[in-house]
A = this chain, B = another copy of it.
């Protein structure tokens, strides 16, 4: 019942970009440093996010990544689906393309997993990156200057 690091790191990266939304492109290197993620690995993750249309890239010096949409328009579920595929505790209740199952109609364990899936989806799709940024502001200890 574990998320892979792709989903884990992917969300951290997206959260980082959300916190910088509106400014210049953010290079992966700085994302990796702030979020404490392996830089080279993050490149792969960014590629997935870009192909999913969640971020845009700017190549060359002073380049980097920016969110493709406003933080309020990107849900945690979007990020996780991009990184991990359809949400499904077991294949036979996958959101999309549920695997065939001999006796799906009468399989009770299946209905249990469907309930788990729905409850996960409900949480993931109810939280936007903007929500996360807002919560972050509340939690962050007060300081004189914004940390860099």
Contacts and interface: CB of A to CB of B under 8 A. Distances in A.
Interface of A: 1-3, 7-8, 11-12, 15, 36, 76, 80, 84, 87-91, 102, 105-106, 108-109, 111-113, 115-116, 119-120, 122-124, 127, 132, 135-136, 139-141
A69 to B, nearest CB: 19
23 contacts: A1-B1, A1-B3, A1-B80, A1-B84, A1-B87, A1-B120, A2-B88, A2-B89, A3-B90, A3-B113, A15-B108, A15-B109, A105-B139, A106-B136, A106-B140, A108-B135, A108-B139, A109-B132, A112-B132, A116-B120, A119-B119, A119-B123, A120-B120
Contacts of A105: 139
Main secondary structure of the interface of A (DSSP, over half): helix
A76 B112 contact: yes
